[in-house]
Amino acid sequence: MDKETVVELKKIVKIYGEHKVLKNVDFDLRSGEIHCLVGENGAGKSTLIKILSGAVTPESGEIFILGKHTRGLNPRLAIELGITTVYQDAELVDSLTVAENVFLGNELNSSIPLKINKRKQVEETERIFRRLGINLNPDEYVANLSTAQKQMLQIAKALHRSAKVIIMDEPTSSLGLEETKALLNLLKNLRSQGLGIIYISHYLNEIFDIADRLTILKDGEKVGTYSATEIDVNTVIKKMVGRDTALFFQRRPVQIKEVLLRVNRLTKKGIVNGVTFDVKRGEVFGIGGLVGSGRTELVSMIYGALRPDDGEIFLKNERIELKSPLDAMKKGICFVSEDRKKLGMFTGRNLVENLVIAKNNLSKRFLLNLNQEVILSTEIVRKLSIAVADRDQLIEELSGGNQQKTIIGRWLLNTDALLYIFDEPTKGVDIGAREQIYEIILQLAEQGKSIIMVSSDMPELLSMSDRIGVMRNGEMTHILENRNVKEEDLMKLFIGV
């Protein structure tokens, strides 16, 4: 079969604030091919595919779909043109069956008007599944499916809508080995049926298993497009790293004191496996690894959100058992979340309320009066240079960087804190605010606090950490003294090559 170009992106530019995240990127996809996008975190992979799926509008550049110049792409139009993005969760209705989901919004009517022909839907679903070698019961409720099964269902649904292009962004980060193998086989199967597939993954072994071509992005620029047979893993890693020096932060040294936290063989079955490390006062302990390596679950046990199955946590040489995040907070362990919206922000509340909430929670006995709250908040706003129009402004109206600073500011008010855990502290934060957050982290270290910083951002991890713990498949495989650690070597440890 002659391979035709189904998608072509030309000179795509995307800018967020002052940050150019895609710089004249070209990309093309042929039918019957798997084209992988690789690059470090923040390279611009997700943004590029969001542009193709109509979720993000570029500043400039052209998009051709099946040879036709397409303007004003939006998610609905992209789907109509045959481009489907498979997300980890979204889009499916839990309370409906597998077959009902395949036909959702596209139901088969029976001879009785408005009555959906369920039998036909089940038969048609079975036919699609057979064609793809998917093993799923059409009558099962979606609520009972695993993540892997949901992804397969979304692919089947896309085919039912005659998709020409399937896009998957890190689909295997939460899948097991067998599930990953099944998904990769399904993708190969789709390829042989003439679909074009764009596949993003950090797992280079997966890439080399399925890719026909791969495109490497670095700092928003295309490094190159290669046939998978003409390039090897080590060369790919070399071309991914060497990030822009502007992304690195020159931090000052802080005096490191005695051990504050000691974690011994901490285990959550199937997720975190016997992790042991310590963190000293004044130290920034970075935790790196790929998404799904167990980093978030590891720290969740240290701030009381997840109960370990085994292992011990010592704070100041005393064994502690944490029943909840509030319990951890009372013992001096503060957590600043990656997911501001879900865990950190109290929407519908203003800046002052968001700042003082920790303080009030901790000591209900002496509720601060409003005046005191305002004085304290004003000080924090000044100290962290939070850009806010007035104190009554709702937190959701602030920019991402200012929201993040507010949440961090909240913990600065809690002066009894001993250990701060940051999970992706600068995710979605612009470069200016990023440096201020680093400054806050350093000031905390200088006050003798201990810092644990989980980060997927390689320059951040390398700039800020005194030591780096490498997580892979639930284990802390290495603890590196961060002197002259090279990006390339760190990346190899994450991936395990």
Binding interface with Mg ion (CB under 5 A): 46
CB of 247 to ligand ADP, least distance (A): 9
Residue 44 interacts with, from ligand ADP, Mg ion, none (CB under 5-8 Å by kind): ligand ADP
**At residue 184, what is the residue type?**
L
- Find the shortest distance in angstroms from Cβ 218 to ligand ADP: 10
Binding-residue total with ligand ADP (CB under 6 A): 11
289 contributes a contact to ligand ADP by CB under 6 A: no
- 46 vs 350, which CB is nearer to Mg ion? 46
Binding window for ligand ADP (CB under 6 A); candidates: 43-51, 262-270, 352-360, 486-494: 43-51
Of residues 25, 32, 36, 45, which one binds ligand ADP by CB under 6 A?
Answer: 45
Q: Is 41 in the site for ligand ADP (CB under 6 A)?
A: yes
DSSP 434-494: HHHHHHHHHHHHHTT-EEEEE-S-HHHHHHH-SEEEEEETTEEEEEEE-SS--HHHHHHHH
Of these, 44, 54, 282, 474, which contacts ligand ADP (CB under 6 A)? 44
Among 7, 21, 299, 464, binds ligand ADP (CB under 6 A): 21
46 binds ligand ADP (CB under 6 A): yes
Q: Are 228 and 212 in contact (CB under 8 A)?
A: yes
Candidate residues 6, 7, 9, 39; the one interacting with ligand ADP per rule CB under 6 A: 39
Query: Of 42-50, 78-86, 221-229, 278-286, which part binds ligand ADP (CB under 6 A)?
Result: 42-50
**Which residue number, 43 or 211, has a Cβ lying nearer to ligand ADP?**
43
Choosing among ligand ADP, Mg ion, none, which partner's interface includes residue 248 (Cβ < 5 to 8 Å by kind)? none
Q: Pick the closer one to Mg ion by CB: 167 or 336.
A: 167
Site for ligand ADP in 369-428 (CB under 6 A): 428
Long-range contacts of 431-437 (CB under 8 A, 24+ apart): 431/18, 431/19, 431/246, 431/247, 432/18, 432/401, 433/399, 433/400, 433/401, 433/402, 433/404, 433/405, 434/249, 434/401, 434/460, 435/249, 436/384, 436/385, 436/401, 436/405, 437/401, 437/404, 437/405, 437/408
Q: Which of residues 27, 34, 42, 51 is near ligand ADP by CB under 6 A?
A: 42
In the complex with Mg ion, the residue whose CB is nearer, 46 or 477, is 46
Applying CB under 6 A, the span of 37-45, 139-147, 183-191, 224-232 interacting with ligand ADP comes to 37-45
Q: Where are the beta strands (DSSP E) in 17-98?
A: 19-30, 33-38, 60-65, 68-69, 83-86
Q: Which does 42 bind (CB under 5 to 8 A by kind): Mg ion, ligand ADP, none?
A: ligand ADP
Which of the choices ligand ADP, Mg ion, none does residue 225 contact, using the CB cut-off of 5 to 8 A by kind?
none
Alpha-carbon distance of 472 to 294, in angstroms, equals 7
Q: Is 264 helix (H, G, I), strand (E, B) or coil?
A: strand
CA distance 22 to 38: 14
CA distance 413 to 334: 11
Structure tokens that stand for 159 in this block = 């085919």
Query: Residue 456: CB partners within 8 Å, gap ≥ 6?
Result: 41, 288, 290, 291, 424, 427
For residue 261, what are the CA distances in angstroms to 249, 323, 331, 414, 453?
26, 17, 12, 18, 14
| Nearest approach, Cβ of residue 39 and Mg ion (Å) | 9
171 binds ligand ADP (CB under 6 A): no
| Residues at the site binding ligand ADP, with contacts judged by CB under 6 A | 16, 21, 39, 41-47, 428
